[in-house]
Structure formats: C-alpha cells, structure tokens
Amino acid sequence: MSENYNHKQVIVIRKDLKMRRGKECAMAAHASLGAILKLGNYYTAEDEEGHPVHTFLATLNNKVAPWLMGRFAKIVVTVQSEQELLDLQKKAEDAGVLNCLIKDAGFTEFKGVPTYTALAVGPDFSEAVDEITKDLPLY
C-alpha cells in the first residue's frame, strides 16, 4: 500500500433534495465508483465453453494510482441546489480533474423525475480537488 496521502476524492451531495440517508449513501457510492470506471474500457470475449468473459482495463496515472492503491481518502460535502452541483462539475471539467456526475433515474424517489444527486471530484492531487471544493460544508 502506498503511504502517499496527497490524493483524495470529494463526494458532493445535494442536501436540498432531502434524500433518505441510504439513498444519499448509494448516490455517493455511484459517484465514487463511476469516476474510476470512466478511466477504463470494457471487453467481452468467450471462454472455452462459450460463456461470456468480461474484462475491464484501466490505465492509472499519477493522479489516480496513489489514491486507488493507498488510503482511498474521501470527504463528503454538501450543496443546496442542482445549479451548485452542475457548476462544480463544470469547474472540475475545466480544471481537468476527474469527476462523475450522478443523475438518479427517479424510480424510488423524486416521483419518477430523473434528478442530479451527487458528484465525485477526483481522485486527484489534494490541491487540485481542494481548488474546486474547499469552500463547501462537510456533510
């Protein structure tokens, strides 16, 4: 395990939606994992018996590898509106920071309306993530 603690991921949750705690946790997990999955490619082949074998390959750069092979440092913060969430996502995109915006399908909450619920910023160098999220309140 890497002892490098200079990398982190910040998960941003919309508090204005008043989601159930379990729903918030699920949205945070989707955002965190989604950011990593954006880095890779999926391949499908068949084994000797003709069953599908799925492979995921990702190249990890110096922004992601120390985090993924280290402590997985995560901090959860909040915003109070969809616009704040979208503005943060744009700020991350503009800065070249890995991110994953989650849009819930609305099946269990939100009366069937697809709704932006969470955003992962990073993993990346702590300074890069802080530049985007430093003013947000902790959850």
Tens of pLDDT along the chain (139 residues)? 445 579 999 999 999 999 999 999 999 999 999 999 999 999 999 999 999 999 999 999 999 999 999 989 999 999 999 999 999 999 999 999 999 999 999 999 999 999 999 999 999 999 999 999 999 999 9
Q: What pLDDT does residue 1 have?
A: 40
Looking at residue 92, its amino acid is: A
Q: Which CATH architecture has domain 7-133?
A: 3-Layer(aba) Sandwich (3.40)
Q: What pLDDT does residue 5 have?
A: 76
Secondary structure (3-state) at 110: helix
Q: What is the largest CA-CA distance in the chain?
A: 55
Global pTM exceeds 0.85: yes
Cβ pair 118, 30 in contact under 8 A: yes
> CB burial class (10 A; 0-12, 13-18, 19+) of residue 53?
exposed
Q: What pLDDT does residue 118 have?
A: 98
Per-domain boundaries in the chain: 7-133
Is the Cα dihedral 19, 109, 90, 97 positive or negative?
positive
Q: What pLDDT does residue 89 have?
A: 98
